[in-house]
């Protein structure tokens, strides 16, 4: 007989930097043998999660799709009534990601967002300095100079997760909180404010070390002010990010882009970043706990 069992876990066991805490696991058993489990936890908004509740680490034994669906259903039912619940599926983490997506869809989840990863490798190629932009690192000019520019850029972002999270907060409040957590220490030198050579604000780019990989950077955020778009500035900002990555000793830069953000997808390709270099692709599904 199949049984869904809830297991409480010690929040201290969550890996450092995780936004999922505390953790509850739902285990599906058949005759005392574990068949599937899913981890359920609370995510912090400032850490770029789209809502307060998320599912992760879905797994099951071969052919156990029914067990997987039972575990997911139990986890969703544990969320507060009316709460949004998100289920991410990553091709780099789950080789059987197609089956994970089937589980999400048959459990009533709808696809909210897809993201593609672009990999730029430093092969010693020429990285000339931008000719029409002046760039200043946050470590020199201070965070206050970047906050209003980032806020104005994100107000019209094409990234669906960023738009959802950003829309729940006052712009400057969200940006300040985000920079508190994502632009500290060495990363402050590669968050850059951009203006024209005549001093007109253009935008920004934020490069950081990828979590858990000291040799690889990641473009956390990038943006051009609405009135400055269409002049090719995004190409120069990407070039500036790659120059900063080289200066910090990174061998590569991995950047994640919403597939609906076609201008940025095209800019990444123009910059020499390869979307096929690594099997990273993320689907984010959402559902709402019944009231």
pLDDT at 164: 86
Q: What are the contacts of 74-78 at 24+ separation with CB within 8 A? A: 74/4, 74/6, 74/26, 74/38, 75/24, 75/26, 75/38, 75/39, 75/40, 76/107, 76/287, 76/289, 77/289, 78/6, 78/24, 78/26, 78/40
pLDDT at 45: 37
Of 9-23, 68-82, 160-174, 186-200, which gets the smallest average pLDDT?
9-23
Residue 47 pLDDT greater than 50, yes or no: no
| CB-CB contact of 57 with 24 (8 Å) | no
Q: Over range 210-227, report the average pLDDT.
A: 94
Q: Please, where are the H alpha helices in 112-261? A: 138-141, 147-154, 160-166, 171-182, 233-247
Of 48-52, 58-62, 70-74, 164-168, which gets the smallest average pLDDT?
48-52
Taking only the tens place, the pLDDT of each residue in 118-175 is: 999 999 999 998 889 999 999 999 999 999 999 999 998 999 988 888 887 888 888 9
| CB-CB contact of 112 with 284 (8 Å) | yes
Q: For residue 239, list its beta bridge partners.
A: none
Q: Which of 173, 208, 172 is nearest to 188 (CA)?
A: 208
**What is the bridge-based pairing of β-strands 252-258 and 53-60?**
unpaired
pLDDT at 12: 67
Taking only the tens place, the pLDDT of each residue in 170-205 is: 888 889 988 988 888 899 999 999 999 999 999 999
- Helix/strand/coil for 237: helix
The answer to whether the bond into 242 is cis (omega within 30° of 0) is no
Mean pLDDT, the chain, integer: 87
DSSP conformation class of 250:
-
Highest mean pLDDT among 60-69, 116-125, 279-288: 116-125
Q: Please name the helix (run of DSSP H) or strand (run of DSSP E) that holds residue 98, with its range, or none.
A: helix 97-106
Q: Over range 226-246, report the average pLDDT.
A: 96
Separation between Cα atoms, residue 23 and residue 39, nearest integer Å:
6
pLDDT at 242: 98
Q: Please name the helix (run of DSSP H) or strand (run of DSSP E) that holds residue 58, with its range, or none.
A: strand 53-60
Q: What percent of the chain has pLDDT over 70?
A: 90
Q: For residue 287, list its beta bridge partners.
A: 85
* Predicted confidence band of residue 22 (pLDDT cuts 50, 70, 90): low
Separation between Cα atoms, residue 194 and residue 107, nearest integer Å:
45
Q: How are the residues of the chain apportioned to helix, strand and coil, as percentages rounded to the nearest 5?
A: 35, 35, 35
Q: How many residues does the chain have?
A: 291
Residue 49 pLDDT greater than 50, yes or no: no
Q: Over range 47-75, report the average pLDDT.
A: 75
* Predicted confidence band of residue 51 (pLDDT cuts 50, 70, 90): low
For residues 285 and 39, which has the higher predicted lDDT (pLDDT)? Answer: 285
Secondary structure tally for the chain: helices H, strands E? 8, 12
Q: Which tokens hold the place of 46?
A: 């400032």
Residue 31 pLDDT greater than 60, yes or no: yes
- Helix/strand/coil for 91: coil
Separation between Cα atoms, residue 107 and residue 68, nearest integer Å:
10
Q: Which domains does the chain have, with CATH numbers?
A: 2-108 (3.40.630), 120-270 (3.40.630.30)
């Amino acid at each position: 007989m199949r049984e869904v069992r809830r297991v409480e876990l010690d929040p201290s066991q969550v890996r450092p930097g995780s936004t999922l805490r505390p953790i509850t696991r739902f285990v599906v058993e058949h005759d005392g043998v574990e068949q599937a489990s899913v981890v359920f936890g609370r995510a912090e908004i400032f850490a770029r999660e789209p809502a307060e509740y998320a599912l992760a680490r879905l797994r099951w034994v071969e052919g156990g799709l029914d067990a997987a669906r039972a575990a997911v259903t139990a986890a969703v039912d544990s969320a507060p009534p009316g709460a949004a619940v998100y289920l991410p599926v990553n091709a780099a983490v789950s080789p059987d990601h197609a089956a994970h997506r089937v589980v999400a869809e048959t459990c009533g989840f709808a696809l909210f967002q897809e993201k593609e990863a672009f990999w730029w490798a430093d092969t010693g190629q020429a990285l000339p300095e931008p000719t029409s932009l002046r760039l200043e690192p946050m470590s020199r000019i201070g965070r206050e100079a970047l906050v209003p520019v980032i806020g104005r850029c994100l107000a019209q972002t094409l990234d669906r997760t960023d738009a959802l999270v950003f829309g729940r907060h006052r712009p400057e409040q969200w940006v300040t909180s985000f920079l508190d957590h994502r632009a500290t220490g060495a990363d402050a030198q590669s968050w850059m404010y951009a203006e024209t050579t005549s001093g007109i604000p253009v935008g920004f780019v934020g490069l950081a070390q990828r979590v858990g990989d000291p040799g690889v950077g990641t473009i956390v955020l990038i943006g051009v002010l609405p009135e400055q778009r269409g002049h090719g500035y995004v190409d120069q900002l990407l070039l500036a990010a790659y120059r900063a990555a080289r200066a910090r000793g990174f061998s590569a830069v991995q950047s994640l882009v919403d597939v609906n953000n076609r201008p940025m997808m095209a800019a990444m390709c123009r910059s020499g970043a390869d979307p096929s270099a690594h099997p990273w692709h993320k689907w984010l599904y959402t559902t709402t706990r019944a009231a």
